[in-house]
A and B are shown apart, each in its own frame.
Chain A
Amino acid sequence: MKTFFVVFTKEIFSFMHSFMLVLVVLYSFTIDVYIAGSGIQLKPKNVVVGYVDNSGSGISEKILSHLHKPEFLPPKAFLSQKALSDAIFNKEVIVGIIFDSDFEKSYREGKNTTLNLLLDSTAASQSLTTLSYLQNIILSFEKLNIPIQIKSHKLFNQNADNHTFMGLSELLSVVTMLAIILTAIVFVKEKEDGTWDIMLLMPVDPKIIILAKSFSQVFIVMVGVVLSLGFVTFGAFDTPMNGSFWTFILLTFLYALSTAGIGLFVAAVSKSIMQVAQLSIIIIMPLIFLSGSWTPIYAMHPFFQYLSLISPLRYYIEGSESLFYRGTSFVDMLPYLSGVAIIGLIVYWLGFRKIGKLF
C-alpha cells in the first residue's frame, strides 16, 4: 500500500512540475468547455433574411415583421431578384423571400397565393428548420379556421438551451481525451527512456506500480471534472442539476477508469509518443462519435448502432444527460453505471495485462 502512495504522489508531483501541462489541462477543462458551450448554437439564430418586395403592400410588411430576434436578424431589402441571389451565392444571406407583384391582390380577393422562398441548403439543418419556422409564421397569419389547438410542452431543457448541452458534451469529450492521452503517455515516456523494463524487473510488484500510475492520472482528470463543473457548468452556464451530484461523480470515476484502461492499451502497443498521438486520435474520434453526443444512436446506420454498444462513452453520456436533465433516480441509473463499469473493467484488465508483460 505504501508503494502505491509513493508512486501515486510521485506521478502527481511530476505532473505539477510541468507548468505548461497544468495550464493546458486547466484550459481544456474550463475555457475550452466554455467556448464550446457558448459558441455552438445549432438551432436557427440570427438567420439573415433578404427579401424582394414587388407587391409594395402592407401584407408583406406584416409577414416580415414576424421575423424577429433571436431567430432572425432584421430582414434586408434587395432591389432585384438578381441582387438577392448574388447575396445568397456569397453566403451573406441564408433565406430569400420574394413577394410577387400580384401577391397582395390575390390574397385580398381570397384566392390562394404563393410566396417564393430561396433557401441556401448547404446548411441543410438550418434551412429546414428555418422553413418550418416560416411555415408556422405564415400559418398563424392565415385566416385559418381550425377547431384544434395544440398545447406544446418542452420537457427537461425548457428553453431548448444549447449552452448547457454542448458544454456538457464537450466536458465529456475532454475527459475522454485527457484520460486516454495522459495515462498512455505516463507509461510510454518510461518506455521511450528505457526505464519501464527496469520498473518491471524491480522487486516491487509491477501491478501496484501500474495501478498507482494509472490512478494518479484518473485522479488528475477527476479534479479537472470537479473544477469544470464548479466554474463552467454550474458557474457560467448555470446548468440545473436534476439528479444526484454524487451519482455523477461515481459515474465519472468509473468512466475515467475505463478510458484509463484504453490508455494502458494504447501505451502497451505503441513505442513512441508520436504513435500514442496518432493512435489516440484514431481511438478518440470514433469513441466520441459513437457516443450519441453528435447524433442520437437510433438515427445512426444500424452497423454503427451495434458498434456503439461497446463504447463506454455512450453509457456515460446517456447517464449524464439523464442525471442532469431528467433527474433520473439512482436505481434507474444502474444500467448506465453497470454498462460503464463492465466495459471499463474488461478494457482496463486487458490493458493492465498487456503493459505488465516484459516481452
Chain B
Amino acid sequence: MKKNIIKAYILKEFKELVRSRLILMVYLMPSMVMLLFGFGIKMDVSHARIIILDNDQSKFSLELASKFEHTKYFNTKYLHISENEALELIKQAKTDALLIIPASFEKNLLKGQKSELGVFVDTSFPVRGTTIESYIQGTIISAAQQISKTIGIKQTGLILINNRNLFNQALRDEDAIIPGLLGLVLLIAPAILTALLIVKEKEKGTIFNFYASPLRKSEFLLAKLFPAFLLHSVNIFIVLIWALYVFNVPFRGSFFLYWSTSELYILISTLIGMLISIITNRQIVAIVLTIILTLIPGFLYSGMLMPISSMDGASQIEAHIFPIMYYTHIMYDTFLIGQGLASDKIILYLAILIMYIFLLFGIGVNLLKKELKS
C-alpha cells in the first residue's frame, strides 16, 4: 500500500544526492584514498640512511663497510667527523643510523681480540628504528662470518633458517595492505555520506515532513539508506579494479564471495552513519563523530598494521566489537589465501556480519523518533 510513498522518498533522496554534486565525491574519495595509501605506505624499510665513521681505514674495515653499500636497505655515506658531530647529525634528523668502526679494528681482529662496533639508531620512529637496528646487526654478523673465514676461524654447527612466507611470498607491501585498505575505504566513505542525511533534516526542520507522513520508521530508514547503498555498491567494483590491475594483488578466492561480503559490509557502513545521524542533533557533531568513530578503529583493527591475534586483552575485545575485523579477515582470505567457504571461520564471520545489519537496523529504528519531543 505504501509502496508508492517509499518509492517517492527513494527518488527524492536519490535526486538530492545527485543534485548536490556529491556523486563526484562518492566516487572520487575511495579511489583517491586507495591510490594514495596503496602507493604511499611502505612498511618494510629500504634506503635507510646510515653514516659510517671508519676510524680504522683498513682492509677489513672497508670490507665490513662495503657490505652496507650494495643493498637496497641502506644509503651509505662515509664521513670523517668526530663522534659528537655525527650524533649531532642524528639529532637534526639528517641520518637514521650511525656505525662507528674503532681505530684498532683490524689490529684487534688479527690478534684475536674482540673489538667493539658502535651502532646508534634513531628510534623516534619505533618500528623503523628497531627494524633498522636488526638489519644492521644482520649485515655486520654476515660480514663478520666472512671476515673470520678469511682469517681462519672455523664455524661448526650452524643452524640455517629455511623460511617459507605463506600467502605473500615476495613480502610485497601492496599485498599486505590493500585488502585491509578496502575495509577502511568502504567503511569511511559510505558512513560519511549517510551521517548527515537525517541530522540535516533535523537542523533544517524538514524532518516534520516525515513526522506527518504515513511512513513507518523502518520504511523511512530504508528509503534513506537505499540510494547511498546503491551509489556505493559501484565502488566495490572500482576498488577491485584498482587492487587487481594497478596494485597487482593476487585474487585467489571466489569473486562471488568478495562481492556479496562487500555488499553486506557497505550496508553496515551506511547503517553506522545512519545511526550517528539519528543520535546527533547538529551536523558538525555528526561529521566529527563519524570521522572519529570510523577512521581510528578502521586503521587499528583492519589487520593492516598489526594482527588481531597479537593484540592485548582490551584491544582484542574492542577489535571484536567493530565489524571491520570480520570483513578484512574475509578480504585477506579472498585475495591472498583462497579458502573461501571451506573454512568454518569465514562462515562464522559472514554470519556475524549479517547479524550486525539486523542489530544496527534494530537500534536505529528504536532510537529514531517520529514525534516532537515534549
Contacts and interface: CB of A to CB of B under 8 A. Distances in A.
B1 interface: no
Closest 8 CB pairs of A and B: A124-B176, A125-B43, A278-B25, A117-B163, A121-B168, A121-B165, A132-B134, A42-B127
- Give chain B's interface residue range (CB within 8 Å of chain A): 35 or more
B167 to A, nearest CB: 5
A147 B108 contact: yes
A128 B307 contact: no
Contacts, number: 350
A2 interface: no
Contacts of B92: 322, 326, 328, 332
Contact of B167 (A43, A121, A131, A177): A121
Interface of B: 20-22, 25, 28-29, 32-33, 36-37, 39-47, 49, 87, 90-93, 108-109, 112-131, 133-138, 140-141, 144-145, 148, 153-169, 171-173, 175-176, 179, 188, 192-193, 195-196, 200, 280-285, 287-289, 291-292, 296, 299-300, 303, 305-312, 315, 318, 329, 332, 336-337, 339, 343, 345
A123 B306 contact: yes
B306 A41 contact: yes
A229 to B, nearest CB: 18
B121 A147 contact: no
A127 interface: yes
Contacts of B307: 91, 94, 120, 123, 126
A132 B131 contact: yes
A150 B117 contact: yes
Contacts of A326: 91-93, 124
Interface in A161-183: 161-162, 165, 170, 177-178, 181-182
Interface in A293-312: 294-296, 298-301, 304
Given A178-B288, A278-B25, 19 more contacts: A20-B285, A24-B285, A43-B130, A45-B306, A89-B343, A91-B332, A107-B159, A111-B157, A122-B175, A124-B175, A129-B130, A147-B114, A149-B115, A154-B129, A165-B124, A274-B22, A277-B283, A277-B287, A332-B92
A113 B176 contact: no
B332 A185 contact: no
Contacts of B299: 40
Of B135, B309, B318, most A-chain CB atoms within 10 Å: B309
- Give chain A's interface residue range (CB within 8 Å of chain B): 35 or more
B42 A299 contact: yes
B119 A151 contact: yes
Nearest to B160: A114
A144 interface: yes
A296 to B, nearest CB: 6
Contacts of A149: 114-117
